[in-house]
Chain A
Amino acid sequence: MKGYRHKLVIAMLLACVPLDGNTAVNVAENHVMESSEVVLRAVLKKNTRCLKCHSREKFKSLDDGEQMSLQVLPQAYLSSAHGEVTCIGCHEAIGNRKHPSRKTNIAVSSQREYSLQLNQSCRNCHTGKYTRYEGSIHASLVSKGNTIAPLCTDCHSAHAVESMAVYKPVTGLPCKNCHADIFDAYAASVHGKARKNGNVIRAGHIQAPVCANCHRAHDVTAVAFGDNLKAECLGCHEDVKLAHDRWLPNAGLHLDVVSCAACHAPVAERRIDLQLVDNITRLPVGGKQGHEVLQKQLEIIDQADGNIDPLRLWNLVRQCGQQDKALNITLRGRMEVSSGAEAHRLARSGLAVRNCDSCHQSGSEPFEDVVISIIRPDGRTLHYQADKEILGSMASVGSVSDFYVLGGTRVKLLDILLLLAIFAGFAIPAGHFTMGRIIRKKESKGGQ
């Protein structure tokens, strides 16, 4: 890192020398190359001193009783993206004072703790990426004390640092380390297979996505909430709206309320996800917006006896509006796949669900599983199991006012009213007719 600064300073100084046009540029480039060689040699010299000991197998005893390897393989480090960076560029604490010995031992509680401390040093050079990482679900989990949420080195490695661009995506992605089931589903999907077979799905369609293309590399967010993921799909599949408009009534609405995977992962189990959103901003309700009270209420209902029933939900929505005018919430319904792994089982478009009856009838599979979601303060989505009757209750007209599926979310009371109307439609004429017959019969008998 310090090496790069050195190069920059030399380049800036050279730029100040009054030379004309191309000559100035050539001279500057030559000087940078020469000086970078000088810097590189200096870096190597410094690093050689470190590697002299640290290339050997060495361990440090940690407070948690574990042993931390202090070995750095020279070849791996020097050929890595950080090969020109001095060791103390990252290990600043050691560089700024006398190297610790057995007597001046630095206490390290755990390897994770040490990685956490050093994670900050990445920010010095990779400010933009680090800032994006700080807003991610991974960083959020780290800040909440999660011990397996990834730090920079968990994905990029500590000493054999590589840009993710040079990874072999289908076999070597670091995401697989934690999300193995999801990765397996992806590898078997149309995207995973295409990537494996040379990134070609069909002529003119060169690149199939890897994890980071949809979920982003550093600012990874909870994809189940909001429209982030749909935007990623539409980023490549530009003609989606047009293609669906050709055969699907209300195509725009379907694209809004049905996740791409719900149809394009035909073997996946689906469910209805009722997401709590702010009625004014239309943004998801979550910890970041100070809606912890709402989350607590949901937890109380959830813990009381399991499923959230229609009346409780209706009361919750109503009470929120009454107690706090700023908390004007509503439920935004979406059809999603039941699990993250299943969302990745994307098949080619010819195999996508195209049968309207699979959703547009009462009792169809997606309506058997209904959840209510809220964003937790750490950015993850929290699901509460709801009674499936929540969609067929008259109370849902008020509480789930924005979600309706023709045939699928029938209100039971209206079904009963229809039966009564049909009955009345036949009974009234039949009763009137019969009454007339009886009266006429009585009158004719009376006349006789």
Chain B
Amino acid sequence: MSAIYAAQREQNDLYINPLPVRIWHWANALGFVLLILTGLQLRYADLLNVIPFEMTVKMHNWVGFSVIANYFIWLGFYLFSDRIKVYHPELNARRFFIRAFRQIRYYGYGIFKGEPSPHLVRPYDKFNPMQSITYQIVMLLVIPAQFATGIMMWDIKRFEDWIALLGGIRVVDTIHVLIFIFFVSFILVHAYMGALGHTPSAHFKEMFTGYEEAGRKQDRQRG
């Protein structure tokens, strides 16, 4: 199946997203949407009353643990493959900032003028500098912090020493909610950026097939 599918592809199509990354991405997306929805239900039970509270707690916990398990697919894949290079294609800080500035200018102006993206997607350099820095902060700092605070609130008694170390359950909850608020915004903007390919669905297709379509090098940028 995959051989036939591969044969149908144009010779210049680039294999950007290997299977583990795609599995992680969509499972993570589904998990995040469910966590946001159940989180909203838990936090605003007085305004939303779609699912009973007790069931929502169970759903939030189960989905949370699934997302944590899924995170290790991402982590394992990048730790044990050479694809980890996609996060560090540019080690020169000066060049990195120049490229980042060009990318910001492109998103804020050039894209409207029909200019090509300054970043050319390649299998080992798939993220533009803005994506690279954002995703590293999100994946290595923000998401683990959300997991940690979520786990602590899942069983407060068990983790009471850790909670005390952080300054109390209110502090832990506030961190969890602030990250939740960030992700609400992030997912909406992320979905919009995903639609900025050469066609609105190009990047979505790419995240299913793994292949960046050929012949579109001039406007290759990703959400």
A contacts, CB < 8 Å to B: 247, 249-250, 252-253, 256, 330, 356-357, 360-364, 396-398, 400-404, 406-407, 409-411, 414, 417-418, 421-422, 424-426, 428-429, 432-433, 435-436, 439-440, 443
The interface residues of chain B lying within 8 Å CB-to-CB of A253 are 156-157
Contact B46 A361 (CB under 8 A): yes
In the assembled complex, how far is the CB of residue B149 from the closest CB belonging to chain A, in whole angstroms?
12
Asked if B42 is at the interface of the complex by the 8 Å CB criterion, the answer is yes
**How far is A252 from B160 in the complex, measured between Cα atoms in Å?**
11
B185 at interface by CB-CB < 8 Å: yes
Contact-residue size bin, chain B (C-beta under 8 Å from the other chain): 35 or more
CB–CB B43/A397 < 8 A: no
Interface flag for B104 (CB, 8 Å): no
Residue with the highest number of chain A CB atoms closer than 10 Å, among B49, B57, B187? B57
Q: Is B192's CB under 8 angstroms from A432's CB?
A: yes
Scan B44-56; emit 1 where CB is below 8 A from any A CB, else 0.
1110010011100
Residues of B contacting A440 in the complex (Cβ-Cβ under 8 angstroms): 112, 114
Question: A256 CA to B158 CA in the complex, in Å?
Answer: 13
With beta carbons under 8 angstroms apart, the residue of B157, B169, B191 that contacts A402 is B169
Contact of A401 among B107, B169, B178 (CB under 8 A): B169
In this complex, which of A417, A421, A439 has the most chain B Cβ atoms within 10 angstroms of its Cβ? A421
Assembly CA distance A439 to B153 (angstroms): 48
B168 adjacent to A401 (CB under 8 Å): yes
Q: Which of A250, A409, A426, A429 contacts B156 (CB 8 A)?
A: A250
Least Cβ–Cβ distance between B161 and chain A, in angstroms: 13
B214 an interface residue at 8 Å Cβ cutoff?
no
The answer to whether A414 and B184 touch across the interface, beta carbons within 8 angstroms, is no
Which residue of chain A lies nearest to B55 when distances are taken between CB atoms in the complex? Answer: A356
* B134 close to chain A: CB less than 8 A: no
Add 13 more A-B contacts to A362-B46, A407-B53 (CB < 8 A): A250-B155, A250-B157, A356-B53, A356-B54, A356-B57, A397-B171, A402-B169, A407-B46, A422-B184, A425-B187, A425-B188, A432-B192, A439-B112
**B19 at the A interface (CB under 8 A):** no
Q: Is the interface of B mostly helix, strand, loop or mixed?
A: helix
Q: How far in angstroms is the closest Cβ of chain B from A44?
A: 62
A404 to B170, CA, bound (A): 6
Instruction: Let me know if B170 and A422 touch, CB within 8 A.
Output: no
> Which chain B residues in 14-29 approach chain A with CB under 8 Å?
none
**B113: Cβ under 8 A from any A Cβ:** yes
Q: Are A435 and B192 in contact (CB under 8 A)?
A: no
Consensus secondary structure, chain A interface: helix
- Complex contact B173–A426 (CB within 8 A): no
Pair B188/A414 contact, Cβ less than 8 Å: no
A409 vs B42: C-alpha distance when bound (angstroms): 12
Query: Are A425 and B168 touching (Cβ within 8 A)?
Result: no
Q: Is the CB of B184 within 8 A of A404?
A: no
Considering only CB atoms, which chain A residue lies closest to B53 in the complex?
A356
B53 lies within 8 A of A357 (CB)? yes
A359 to B61, CA, bound (A): 20
Which single member of A410, A421, A429 contacts B184 (CB below 8 Å)?
A: A421
B30 within 8 A of A: no
Are the C-beta atoms of A425 and B185 separated by less than 8 Å? yes
B112 touches A425 (CB 8 A): no
- B156 adjacent to A396 (CB under 8 Å): no
Q: Counting CB contacts under 8 A, is B174 at the interface? A: yes
Bound together, the chains give a CA A424 to CA B184 distance in angstroms of 10
Q: Name 10 interchain pairs, CB-CB below 8 A, sorted by A.
A: A401-B171, A402-B169, A406-B153, A417-B178, A418-B180, A418-B181, A421-B184, A426-B188, A428-B192, A433-B192
CA distance A406 to B114 in the complex (A): 48
Given contacts A400-B170, A407-B45, A418-B181, contact A436 B157 (CB under 8 A): no
* Chain B residues, Cβ within 8 Å of A426: 188
Contact of B113 among A356, A397, A439 (CB under 8 A): A439
Binary interface profile of B, 137-172, with partner A (CB < 8 Å = 1, else 0)? Answer: 000000000000000010111000000000111110
Any chain A CB within 8 A of the CB of B98?
no
B97 at the interface (CB under 8 A from A): no
B170's partner among A397, A425, A435 (CB-CB below 8 A) is A397
- Per the bound structure, the CA–CA distance linking A371 and B144 in Å amounts to 37
Give A247 to B180 CA distance when docked, in angstroms: 27
Q: How far is the CB of A279 from chain B (nearest CB, A)?
A: 9
Which residues from chain A contact B180 at a C-beta distance below 8 Å? 418
